[in-house]
């Protein structure tokens, strides 16, 4: 396989999409009292003014950093600083350490510690530093130290998942936190140049994608017991936990493929590209809905559909990773997948009124109403996807969503 050569391309279309989405969130998401409003009605009014979720607090800061990077508008840099101040002063707990999971009306509602949340805290600090908004080296070190002290398991080379407010670690182990830490560590390395971040990201990828995937025929299962053996029954038939769904998640197989490509760009290893191609291809072939289009949310260990709803983040990750694989390999199959998924997204997920993406659709792509339709939605995956496409040199097609890359098969 050879890398497809890309001529320099203007990115006005993709930057326009970033600006369009951010025009919904900014400035209405800014709470002058601190942090960001995170729950909106479809008309843009605030649905819940008092609740702050750590993941959304961090993601919203990341989003503004992405907007500043590509649009160079000072208002977004100011919004990043506003968000980081809230992370440090409201979510951060000096004693006994950690970041509160949920705040309500300025007070801690859920003080439990989540590795998944710390991954996004690190990502927010890293992105701010990378785009020159603020030197967050001390914050990156602090977050690393929290992870090292409480969640890191050297014997397994992976992170535990959840702990109480006073750091009693639960027996649950999960891949999702490790995947997003891999993402955050790559970003932290890019921002700081500290090799420990890239080394740890590479180790997480190796242990999850090679070692752990051996337990599930080459794919990455979501849930594990304390000894890192698969827990096949965790949350089976319970679809209420959006952070820990049962089954194989095609979106997560695809995200790992993207992370392998990013790692391979900085620290090449022979196995990564081959495994990225395999993870992506298996996921889209099993998850693509041939009748209605789009990728379903989950399938069982035998590849049979389990949850056929369509989630925006799955489509966004697949659209982007297909393009990145096409750029890297020049193989037309990946370019075809990119076009197919992007066209599907443009038709079914982009809200023409706001520019944001609907969070979830029924299997037939009809609307799936939710209480407070924008509750907890930040468009993090969408904005990250557009940013990744810009950085890879993918060519806009003059439409709301790019439907091809500049690579020539």
Task: Compute the distance between CA of residue 325 and CA of residue 333 in angstroms, rounded to an integer.
Answer: 9
Active-site annotation holder among 26, 114, 326, 381 = 381
Look up residue 258 and give its two tokens: 């993207």
Active-site annotation holder among 76, 114, 252, 326 = 252
CB 287 within 8 A of CB 306: no
Burial of 2 (0-12, 13-18, 19+ CB in 10 A): exposed
Strand runs (DSSP E) across 186-289, as ranges? Answer: 223-224
Task: Compute the distance between CA of residue 235 and CA of residue 298 in angstroms, rounded to an integer.
Answer: 13
Nearest to 399 by CA among 315, 360, 342: 342
Does residue 362 have an active-site annotation?
Answer: no
Task: Compute the distance between CA of residue 121 and CA of residue 87 in angstroms, rounded to an integer.
Answer: 8
CB 128 within 8 A of CB 182: no
Nearest to 258 by CA among 271, 275, 276: 276
CA of 314: how far to CAs of 41, 95, 162, 359, 399, in Å? 23, 37, 24, 10, 21
Does residue 381 have an active-site annotation?
Answer: yes
- DSSP letter string over 354-397? TSPBPSEE-TTS-B---SSTTTT---HHHHHHHHHHHHHTPPP-
Q: Which residue has the tokens 């037309």?
A: 332
CA of 359: how far to CAs of 29, 278, 297, 323, in Å? 18, 27, 12, 22
The total of other beta-carbon atoms located within 10 Å of residue 71's CB is 15
- Residues noted as catalytic: 252, 381
């Amino acid at each position: 396989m050879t890398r497809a050569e890309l001529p320099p391309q203007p990115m006005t279309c993709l930057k326009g999409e970033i600006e369009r989405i951010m025009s919904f969130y900014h400035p209405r998401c800014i709470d002058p009292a601190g942090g960001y409003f995170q729950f909106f009605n479809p008309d843009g009014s605030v649905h819940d003014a008092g609740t702050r979720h750590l993941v959304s607090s961090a993601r919203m800061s990341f989003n503004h950093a992405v907007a500043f990077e590509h649009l160079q508008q000072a208002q977004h840099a100011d919004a990043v600083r506003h968000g980081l101040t809230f992370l440090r002063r409201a979510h951060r707990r000096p004693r006994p350490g950690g970041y509160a999971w949920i705040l309500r009306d300025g007070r801690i509602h859920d003080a439990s510690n989540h590795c998944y949340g710390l991954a996004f805290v690190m990502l927010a600090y890293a992105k701010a530093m990378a785009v020159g908004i603020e030197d967050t080296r001390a914050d990156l070190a602090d977050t690393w130290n929290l992870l090292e002290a409480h969640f890191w398991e050297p014997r397994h080379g992976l992170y535990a998942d959840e702990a109480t407010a006073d750091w009693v670690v639960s027996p649950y182990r999960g891949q999702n936190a490790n995947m997003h830490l891999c993402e955050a560590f790559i970003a932290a390395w890019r921002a700081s140049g500290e090799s420990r971040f890239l080394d740890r990201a590479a180790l997480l990828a190796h242990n999850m994608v090679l070692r752990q995937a051996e337990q599930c025929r080459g794919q990455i299962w979501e849930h594990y017991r304390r000894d890192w053996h698969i827990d096949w029954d965790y949350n089976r038939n319970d679809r209420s936990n959006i952070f820990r769904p049962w089954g194989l998640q095609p979106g997560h197989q695809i995200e790992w493929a993207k992370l392998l490509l990013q790692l391979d760009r900085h620290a090449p290893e022979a196995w990564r590209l081959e495994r990225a191609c395999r993870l992506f291809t298996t996921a889209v072939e099993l998850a693509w809905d041939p009748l209605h289009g789009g990728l379903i949310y989950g399938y069982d260990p035998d590849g049979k559909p389990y949850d056929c709803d369509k989630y925006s983040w799955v489509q966004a990750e697949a659209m982007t990773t297909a393009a990145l694989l096409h750029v890297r390999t020049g193989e037309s199959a990946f370019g075809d997948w990119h076009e197919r998924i992007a066209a599907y997204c443009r038709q079914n997920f982009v809200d023409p009124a706001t520019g944001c993406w609907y969070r979830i659709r029924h299997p037939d792509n009809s609307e799936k109403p939710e209480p407070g339709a924008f509750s907890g939605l930040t468009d993090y995956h969408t904005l990250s996807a557009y940013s990744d496409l810009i950085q890879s040199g993918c060519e806009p097609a003059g439409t709301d969503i790019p439907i091809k890359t500049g690579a020539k098969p």
